[in-house]
Structures are given as structure tokens and as C-alpha cells.
Amino acid sequence: MNNKIINLHFYSEYSFFESPTKIKNYVEWAKENNLNSLVITDHNNVHGFADFRKYCFLYNIKPIFGIDLDVENVRFILLAKNNQGFQKIKLLAYNKSKNIEIKIEDILSDNLVIILNPNFAKHDIIEAYKNKIPNLYFYNKDLPTSNIYVKDTRILNKSFYNSLKIINDLKEIKLDENQDYNINLEIDINEIQMQNIQKIINECNVTFQNSKDISLPAFCEDPYNELKELIKKGLNNRKDIVNYDRNLVQSRIEYEMSVIKKMNIENYFLIISDLINWSKNNSIYIGPGRGSVSGSLIAYLIGITQINPLKYNLYFERFLNEERITLPDIDIDIQDDKREEVINYLKNKYGFDNVAQICTYQRIGSKQALKDCGRFLNISFSRMNEITKLISGSDSLQTSYDTNVKFKALIDSEEILTKLFQYSLLIESLPRQIGIHAAGVVIANKPIIDLIPIMDIDNNKVTQFSMEYIEEWGLLKIDLLGLRTLTIIKKIEENIKQIFDPNFDFEQIPLNDDKTNKLLTNAKVLGIFQLESPGMMATLKTVQINNFDDLVDVISLYRPGPLSNIQEYIKVKNDKSSFQSINQEYDEIISKTNGIIIYQEQIMEIIQKVAKLSFSKADILRRAISKKKKDDILEMEKLFLKGALKNNYKLDVAQKIYHEIVKFAEYGFNKSHAVAYATLSYRMAYMKARYPLCFYIGIISLTYSTDSINKIVMEAKELKFNINSPSINKISREIYHDKKNNMYLPLTFIKGLGEVANNKILNDFENNGKFQDFFDFIARMKTININNSIIDILIESNTLRDFGNMNTLINNKTKALSYASIASFKDTNTNEIMLDSKIKKPLLEVFPEDLELESKNEIKYLGMIFNAFITSKFESQDKLINLKPGVEYKIALLVTKKKEITNTKFKSTSYFIEVCDSSGKEEIWFNSKYKHIFDEIKVNTIGYATIIKSTRNNKIYTNLYEWKVIE
């Protein structure tokens, strides 16, 4: 009988390297072929269920949910007949992720259809399981008794076969050459097989509840009144609230409460408040706020944020909007080394089964797809590099082909490259690997598995669906973001309390400090959150920070879109007469930001005041404009102009204001977020301005990049702080300091030393005290099994400089090792290696200092020169540290690095050298006009350089025009 049939077994992209078929394409293919139902049965997981449900509902196709599961030594296809069967499949997939062996009795259920995987449908296997599994379905083309037709399907048609081979090869999965793996809609099957297929399709009916109701746990019996009580306490605790009109505060609270109650999310606020307060009570640092939640007065009063929205004119409607009922995100920044503790608190409070993290998928990118297919087609590695270099950033293959003329020409130039492109398109964006979302956590009032499939990753419950599906499956995502900055801030605060002020409180730092403003204006901001980039530093210097609001503005403007508005902002800031007036009401709103609309909240305020629309309507209008949909913009313009005219605005003025809104809406920044993050930046700047010693200790202790530390060292020198390279008798677990302006970097700063050697040396130092001399040091190193290569690193990094110059120590090393072998012995009682104090030490033979050797080795092991400044004898008072822009200098420099950077997109090459003198180091950029000088310069040479610093596009460049080697 020839019939159009539904195949009851299909692997999608979520079978990971077993199928190249994307679910979207699979369901679209079904729609094109007029299929009314469709099956998904991925191997050992149900990651594809969310995509599958979404597209089946979109195209009005009945979804049949299944799994191809390893059971004992066989595979069975399990299809959910109903919601209980769906739940059973979720549980089996979870157990499989925990590496629990699935047995036959585990899959026996009246709620499941059980089909023997066709690859295992051998006669003996069928006979073995027919008696164990009632109503077992199986297919073997050689067995007339087969009661169903099913085949191993992974691709839509034969054109996908090579992409299947490519991804299978990546995981060394062998295909059966006798199978085609594509779907057959027309096939010869008998009447019984056809009836059984139709019976199964009819039996499988999983239904879904409307998931508008989010399954949050009940924080208490009466969450509404509990929230009111917390607000009452907050009004007493937040002392600054008394500065505002009582009626204004009360009406704002009542309005926010009405929206929260309408959305039934009192529990959500209570859960977040409890989480944050628990964290603070357990010495875990939490950020002042993130995103639009800082616009909520209630969030401020109950401790969710540290930002008073009344002070900064922040709107609740930007966070929650009664006319746009969507669930809010309350994202929380947590010090990054304590995030796991916070998640464990949630698990303990709400139940281990009721809390899960969210999965992510690492997908095959455009360049990787090309490389994978290139290997399959035996295209050389060098040729593939030539091709992939033409793809910019994260552009997709199709985008690159459509927009990059050179890439398109190359692909079209040869048949094999056209084939390469076609194959690569098929595997691009396939999921490659599963991970855990860096922030997302879900909490429910029941086991998460009752709502959404989960898996086990390293004993953590993790959803099998990615973030975009969480809400529609009845869960609310909370983002707990580990923020390194908060860990650093805690370390700095601990230093301040220990050294200077035991009562210091980071959250009480004033936001109106002259010394802090001066530091910001001078751009001494290395190590400060959001402010470290060269462009931001140049902008701070140009803008001149007079107060906290200036900093909020600069952080919001320093982004790709609005960056071009900075010059206009500065112009009006410095000359108020250059402000272009439109209308008094409008002018008052934008005068606070020097004539530029910076914030989304300003747009909302303008719409509300000019057109007399509610803030809720204003937010909807703002969002519509920012999405740049022409029809929406025209519609919203009518609404705005109608309201403005009704509010006695002249048409030309209203049109001009609307034009300004449209102009800035695309780049408008969320002021609630900007204020919260600027608060972190300003408070860090305060600590740096007022307690620089503690700031530098904290930053360096938690900075692992040598290059970053070297920049901090140079800045510290400018501020008259001495940050020294590691010195063997001034070591500690973090950074050694003398409570003045002298600091010594830890041994971990030395490249190649390693954690094991570092801990051994520190333990010996803490137990036995300072090292007396070079011979004592070497002997003690041998008692703790420090090998000669580590000793060489310590000598050549100048860590032992207190014992003599590097040349002297290198030439005395053999003598010291001989002494160590004679002086050391094993204690018969403890088996420890001891030193015999009666053995006389040899005399240290002194050799001449070799600055060239020392400087070369310091660069190798420390990243820069700290002690051996070979340029010192050639230097004048002009050094790298004190050069002013626009002035020409001739100074002595040592060249430490040289590099060329090619930009394939713009077909240009930039030339850089890294130089240093006794004051610090600098990167010098060469105009192509001076490339001949770049070519002449050699690394590790000293010369007199003619240089000028200049500022372009808010960045500072150092240009070199002449170079003369010092012989």
C-alpha cells in the first residue's frame, strides 16, 4: 500500500552532531508537505521540545513529543501519549543526564508509546523484548510480522546528507552506508503498519496550560501585607525620604503597590528583597541596582536597590507598566566569588528541586562552520585561513556573502568553494555544546521538572531549555550576575577598615566629593568600574566632572550611538549661551543634560508634559519610536501631536520636539541603570581619591593580568606611590605594604613561577622568617624541594635583588647549591629536611652590575622594567610620565615590543611599538608615512626618540617622528 505517512522517529539539531536538521526547517518542511502532525525524538535529551512546540503551534501542526533513549544495551523510542507521559519522558531524560542506568521496568507505562529503535530491531532483540514490553512496536524490513514502519531519520532530503556526514565526522560517529537517513513520505507499507501509525498519532495528545500564571513560591501567607510592612520599615530606615513631600511619597507608593498587586508579583518583590538582605547580612556584596528596577521607590524602601528614584527623577513606568503588562526583570549584581553561596541559599530556602539554573548552547559560528566543512572537502589549512579572514566579527555566512564583495567573489570563483559555502550554511548555528547561563536562575513553587525539562550538570539542576523559553513555560528568571568589581570593592573596603577607619561603609560614601571630582577630571581612573578605557579617560578630561550627574551623563553618552553627541554636550556645558531653545517646558527637561536628550526617562517626561499622556503611555510611545518601525512612528506622531495641540502647543513647535525625540530615541539610555552603575563608579573613585593605598592593594591583589597591573604601576608612580616588583623578604599572600606609600607585588605576579612553588615559599617564609642572605635562601629552597628552574626565575625576575645584583647571583648559584647540599640533612625523627647551622657559608663573589641583562629579564618575567632602568643615564627631566599633549619632546627610550595589526575589513595595517623609560611604559602608534622608521627600530635597543602626544576622537595617541639609536 502506498501512503503518505508520518515518520515516528526523527533526530533534530539537538541530538548534537547526530543530525544537521534545524527544528524550524523541519516544521516548515512539514507545513509545505501538508502534514497535520509531526514527531521529535532526540537522542537521550529533550532540548528540542521548546523550539518544536513553538513552531508546531505557529504552523498549526500537532506536536508529538518523544525521546530516543538508551535503555540497557538497546534504544527505545518513547512517545508521550498525554501529559503524564510527557512528564515521564522529562524524568527519564533527567535521570539519563545523571548517568543513571535506565532499565526496562523504568520505561513501562500506559502513558507512553514504546517503539524499538529500528537500528536495534534485530530478530533476537525483538523476541527478547516482546514478552517484557506489552504493545511493543518494532520494524524490520525482513520481518513480515513487523507491526509498524519506522526508520532512522535525521535529514529532510538527500541534499543534507553531506552536512550529516560532516557533523558526524566531528564526533567520529560512523554512518551506516546502506541507509539514506532522509524522511520518506511515500512508502510501501502494509495495512496493519499504517493503522498502527495512525493509532499512535491519535493516541498522542499532550496539552499545555496557559502559562500566564508564573509559578513563584509563596514567600508568606499574606504577601501583600508583608510587603506593606517592609515598606513601612523602609520609610523609617531610609533617612533621605524625609526630604521629600510626604504626599508625593505616599502617592508614589500607592501607585506602585497597585501595579504590583494587579500583576500579582508581591511574592517576587519579597523573594528578591529577602535574597539581597540575606546576602548583605552574610557579608556578600550586592550592587546598588541594575536595569530599570532602580526606578521603583518600593524597591529602594525594601532594600532591593540603593537608588532613591525621587532624587534622580526615575520613573516606575520604565520598570513596570500597567498598560504593558509584562513581567519585570530584577537583575542582581553579586560579588563574583560568592554567587554560588547565594544560589545555595535559594536552594535551601525554597527546596533543592524547586531551584534550577538555565542552560545555554554554544553554537557553530560562521568561521567554524567553514573550517569544519573545509576539512571535509580537504581544503588546505592556509586556504581556509584566507577565506575565514574575510568574515567580520560575528557576521553570519549569508550576511558576509550579501555584504562583503570580496568574500562573495571568492566563494563564486570556484566550484569547490561554492560547495564549501553551501555545506557551511547547513551546519552554521547548530548547537555544539551545552553550558550553564552565567546569571540565570529559576525558582518555582513546585519541582522545576514539573514545569520544564531539566538535566544534571556537575550536580546542578539545569533547565533543558534556554533563556528565551523560560517565561512561556511558567517560570520567572532571576539574573544573579557575578560582578568582579564588587569583589574588588569588598577587598578595598576591608583594607580601609583595617588600616585607616574601622567604621568605613562603602554604601554611605557621599556622591559630592571635590577630591573625587578632581580625580575623575584628571582621568586617574585605572581600576575603576566602567572608566578604564583610553577613550573614556580622554572624555572625562574633556568634559570636566563637577558633580555626580556629570559622571552619569558621560557614562551614558560614551556608547557607540550617542558618542557623537559628546562634543555638543561639552559645548553647552562650557557655554550655556550656545543652548538652542525650543520651548520653556522642553528646555527645562534637556537643560539638565546640556541640550542633549540622553535618557529614555527624559523622552517619557517630554511626552508626558508636552502631550499630556500618562507615563505608561509615554513609555509605550518611546518603545515604539526606538524600534524604528515607520508605521508605528507615524501613528505615534499623530498621537503625540494631537496631545500637544490639545495642550496649547503650536504645531511647528510640537513637530520640532517630536523630531528631537525621534532623533535621540534610538540612543536613549536607561537612566535608572546609568545612575546605579555610576554610583558604583563614583564610590570606587572616592576610595581611590581618599584611600589610594588601600585602593591599589585591593586592585592589584585581585588583578591577574600582568599588562593591567603594569598600567596601574605607571599610574601609581604619577601619584607618588611606589609599587615595586616582588622582593623575597617582602612577601605575603596578597600584596606587601608598609602602611605608607610603598607596596610590593606578590610572587604570583612573576610569569612562570606557578601556584605550587609560590605556596611552598610563602609557607617557609611564614614559618621560618626572613631569608638572611643568598646562601640561606638557596639552602632553604632545597629543604622545601624548590627546583633549580624556579630558583632561576626568582633570580632573573630580580626578586632576590636584596642579596646582590642579578649578575652576581647567577655567578654564585653553583656555589650556593653546593653549600645547600652540604648544609642540609634529614631529621631521623620527623623525616624533614633540616639545615645544619654549624656549616660555614661561603663568601659571595661580587660581579659587575649588568643593566642590559637585568632589563631584558625583568621584561621577560615581569612584563616591564621595575628596577633595571637602562635608560636612566641618558634621561633628562622629560620622561614618558610627564609629557604634555601638543609639545614635541626628545627623550631616551628602550623598545620592548613591536607589532603590526592588519584590519581586513578596511584593508589597512597599523604599526605599534612599546617603549619604556624609568618613569613607565607607553605604546606608540606610527602613521604609515613613518613606516620606514618603524622598520628600522629593533626590539631591546635604546634610542633618542622625537615624539608628540595628540588627542583624536577622544583618544590619546603618542606619535614618533625621529629615532636615533644610542650606541
**Both 770 and 889 in a single domain?**
no
Q: How far apart are CA 879 and CA 898, in angstroms?
A: 20
**Both 106 and 194 in a single domain?**
yes
- The answer to the question of residue 617 being in a domain is yes
In this predicted structure, which of 395-409, 581-595, 714-728 has the lowest mean pLDDT?
714-728
Last residue of a domain, which of 630, 654, 685?
Answer: 685
**Beta-carbon count within 10 A of 599 CB:** 30
Strongest mean pLDDT among 46-55, 577-586, 600-609, 734-743? 46-55
Residue 490 pLDDT: 96
- The answer to the question of residue 216 being in a domain is no
Q: The domain that contains 386 carries what CATH number?
A: 1.10.10
Does position 704 have pLDDT exceeding 90, yes or no? no
Q: Are strands 332-335 and 476-483 parallel, antiparallel or unpaired?
A: parallel
The CA-atom distances, in angstroms, between 10 and each of 33, 68, 179, 428, 488 are 16, 9, 14, 20, 50
**Both 154 and 167 in a single domain?**
yes
Closest CA to 682 of 808, 798, 548: 548
The per-residue pLDDT for range 821-872, each reduced to its tens digit, is: 888 766 656 556 666 677 888 899 999 999 889 989 998 999 888 888 888 8
Place of cell 493516541: 203
Tell me the three state secondary structure of residue 310.
Answer: helix
Cell triple for 934: 618603524
Place of cell 509605550: 620
Q: How far apart are CA 263 and CA 693, in angstroms?
A: 49
Domain count, the chain: 6
Q: Write out the DSSP string of 259-292.
A: HHHHTT-HHHHHHHHHHHHHHHHTT--B-S--GG
Whether residue 437 contacts residue 467, with contact meaning beta carbons closer than 8 Å, is answered with yes
**Both 308 and 373 in a single domain?**
no
Residue type, 860: K
| Percent of the chain residues topping a pLDDT of 70 | 96
Does position 3 have pLDDT exceeding 60, yes or no? no
**Both 709 and 846 in a single domain?**
yes
Q: How far apart are CA 357 and CA 492, in angstroms?
A: 31
- The answer to the question of residue 695 being in a domain is no
Helix (H) or strand (E) holding 899: strand 888-903
Please state the rounded mean pLDDT for residues 579-607.
Answer: 90
Phi/psi zone of residue 713: left (φ > 0), alpha (ψ -120 to 50 degrees), beta?
alpha
Longest dimension (CA), the chain: 102
Whether residue 588 contacts residue 557, with contact meaning beta carbons closer than 8 Å, is answered with no
Whether residue 304 contacts residue 242, with contact meaning beta carbons closer than 8 Å, is answered with no
- The answer to the question of residue 691 being in a domain is no
What is the Cα gyration radius of the chain? 34
Q: How far apart are CA 820 and CA 833, in angstroms?
A: 11
Whether residue 423 contacts residue 456, with contact meaning beta carbons closer than 8 Å, is answered with no
Does position 565 have pLDDT exceeding 80, yes or no? yes
In this predicted structure, which of 47-61, 83-97, 381-395 has the lowest mean pLDDT?
381-395
Segments forming the whole domain that contains residue 934 = 869-965
Residue type, 177: E
Closest CA to 695 of 708, 706, 704, 683: 683
Whether residue 475 contacts residue 466, with contact meaning beta carbons closer than 8 Å, is answered with no
Does position 686 have pLDDT exceeding 90, yes or no? yes
The per-residue pLDDT for range 120-150, each reduced to its tens digit, is: 989 889 988 988 998 899 998 888 889 999 9
- The answer to the question of residue 932 being in a domain is yes
Q: How far apart are CA 356 and CA 466, in angstroms?
A: 12
Q: How far apart are CA 494 and CA 734, in angstroms?
A: 13
Residue type, 75: R
Residue type, 597: I
Q: How far apart are CA 705 and CA 960, in angstroms?
A: 27
**Both 523 and 625 in a single domain?**
yes
Please state the rounded mean pLDDT for residues 249-255.
Answer: 96
Which residues on neighbouring strands pair with residue 237, listed in sequence order?
A: none
Whether residue 203 contacts residue 113, with contact meaning beta carbons closer than 8 Å, is answered with yes
**Both 627 and 676 in a single domain?**
yes
**Both 503 and 468 in a single domain?**
no
Which tops the pLDDT comparison, 833 or 587? 587
Q: The domain that contains 742 carries what CATH number?
A: 1.10.150
**Both 161 and 34 in a single domain?**
yes
Which residues on neighbouring strands pair with residue 332, listed in sequence order?
A: 480
Does position 12 have pLDDT exceeding 90, yes or no? yes
Whether residue 423 contacts residue 366, with contact meaning beta carbons closer than 8 Å, is answered with no
Does position 1 have pLDDT exceeding 50, yes or no? no
The pLDDT confidence band at residue 792, using thresholds 50, 70 and 90, is: very high
Helix (H) or strand (E) holding 412: helix 405-413
The CA-atom distances, in angstroms, between 833 and each of 255, 782, 794, 825, 826 are 75, 8, 22, 5, 4
Contacts of 829 (CB under 8 A, 6+ apart): none
- Mean pLDDT of the chain, nearest integer: 89
Percent of the chain as helix, strand, coil, to the nearest 5: 50, 15, 35
- The answer to the question of residue 277 being in a domain is yes
**Both 531 and 671 in a single domain?**
yes
CA 719 to chain centre: 33
pTM for this model (two decimals): 0.83
Contacts of 203 (CB under 8 A, 6+ apart): 81, 113
- The answer to the question of residue 180 being in a domain is yes
Residue 789 pLDDT: 94
The per-residue pLDDT for range 880-937, each reduced to its tens digit, is: 877 888 889 999 999 988 888 876 666 678 888 989 888 778 888 887 778 888 899 9
Q: The domain that contains 61 carries what CATH number?
A: 3.20.20.140
The three-point CA angle 180-186-189 to 5° equals: 95
**Beta-carbon count within 10 A of 361 CB:** 16
Last residue of a domain, which of 147, 170, 203?
Answer: 203
Q: How far apart are CA 66 and CA 70, in angstroms?
A: 13
The pLDDT confidence band at residue 2, using thresholds 50, 70 and 90, is: very low
**Both 291 and 416 in a single domain?**
no
Last residue of a domain, which of 861, 887, 913?
Answer: 861
Residue 210 pLDDT: 59
The CA-atom distances, in angstroms, between 318 and each of 491, 621, 624, 917 are 34, 12, 14, 52
Please state the rounded mean pLDDT for residues 517-544.
Answer: 91
Does position 61 have pLDDT exceeding 60, yes or no? yes
The pLDDT confidence band at residue 300, using thresholds 50, 70 and 90, is: very high
Residue 4 pLDDT: 63
Q: How far apart are CA 465 and CA 90, in angstroms?
A: 12
- The answer to the question of residue 218 being in a domain is no
Whether residue 219 contacts residue 227, with contact meaning beta carbons closer than 8 Å, is answered with no
Does position 69 have pLDDT exceeding 80, yes or no? yes
The per-residue pLDDT for range 459-516, each reduced to its tens digit, is: 899 999 998 898 888 888 899 999 999 999 999 999 999 989 999 999 999 999 999 9
Residue 38 pLDDT: 95
Place of cell 564588587: 486
Contacts of 27 (CB under 8 A, 6+ apart): 38, 52, 55, 56, 58, 59, 61
Q: The domain that contains 928 carries what CATH number?
A: 2.40.50.140
The pLDDT confidence band at residue 235, using thresholds 50, 70 and 90, is: very high
Cβ burial, residue 73 (10 Å; 0-12/13-18/19+): exposed
Phi/psi zone of residue 739: left (φ > 0), alpha (ψ -120 to 50 degrees), beta?
left
Contacts of 40 (CB under 8 A, 6+ apart): 10, 12, 23, 26, 48, 49, 52, 63, 64, 65, 66
**Both 506 and 646 in a single domain?**
yes
The CA-atom distances, in angstroms, between 427 and each of 17, 18, 368, 430, 553 are 10, 12, 10, 6, 44
Q: How far apart are CA 824 and CA 75, in angstroms?
A: 65
